[in-house]
Amino acid sequence: MSFSQQGNGVALSLEDKVALVTGGSRGIGAATVRLLRQAGARVVFSYRNAESEAAKLVAECGGEMFCRALKQELTTVEDGQALVVATERVFGRIDCLIVNHGVWPSHDQPIGTMTPEQWRGTMGVNLDSVFGLVQSGVKQMLRQDKPDGPRGYIVLVASTAAQRGEAFHADYAASKGALLSLTKSLSSELAQKGILCNCVAPGWVKTEMSAATLNDPMASRLALSFIPLGRAAEPEEIAGPIVFLCSKWAGFVSGEVFNVNGGAVLAG
């Protein structure tokens, strides 16, 4: 039998895995939920306000036996911890933690006039709640029976702003830059325990959060001029690398920042 006759392709299966996706009702999060379900995982995802979108996504993914939406604010350490506890109650375990939620204040704000309230608000969502999620998620993974292969996977979603900075959005860039360091710290601490932590860093993506910029002709032209591929990504193009990093094919990948930005960092 020839190599081409041995099968119908490479299987990317997450059967028997449970994944938690934060900010999963729309955009990158929703695309990730769909792809995780296609790979066979049971999925819990959080949402804040998009209740109707969340309900539709649950139905699309096979109903509550396979997919569950949990309404949860994510602004504090305690919020993150509570979501992990609620997820464990739903499906009994967590194998994959995908930290996708975040806030990007769309208005330009010079650092000299940025309010402490804006700074603290961005850090609360983008960093404090992440600590709560990771801390509780790791505890849960270490309590569980160890499966074949890695004990668990953590994927943090950062941004090209973490690497290049972003003028007038220092709060966002600083919070996402912290996730790069957190990824490397978690890898050096947890890889030997069988928990692999990596980071996906998207550039401009066609989501609700970026719509104000991408729908403005002048702002969009400027943003896309820094992307060698000349366009923004579709949410599914970010979901693919996220799901790959939760699979056995990424079993020797730890502490990496996976750039998915159309070459934008290379151009910086």
Using CA atoms, how far apart are residues 268 and 264, in angstroms rounded to an integer?
6
Residue 156 CA to residue 107 CA, distance in Å, equals 24
DSSP label at residue 234: P
> Among all residues, which ones are annotated catalytic?
172
Q: Where are the beta strands (DSSP E) in 182-256?
A: 195-202
Sign of CA dihedral 29, 33, 39, 43: positive
Distances (CA, A) of 52 to 20, 49, 64, 69, 172: 19, 9, 15, 11, 28
The Cα-based distances of 84 to 139, 213, 221 in angstroms read 10, 33, 40
What residues are paired with 68 via a beta bridge?
Answer: 44
Which residues sit opposite 47 in a β-bridge?
A: 71
3-state secondary structure of 59: helix
Instruction: Provide the token pair at 237.
Output: 């193009």
Could you count the other beta carbons within 10 Å of the beta carbon of residue 231?
Answer: 11
Q: Please, what is the end-to-end C-alpha distance for the chain in angstroms?
A: 48
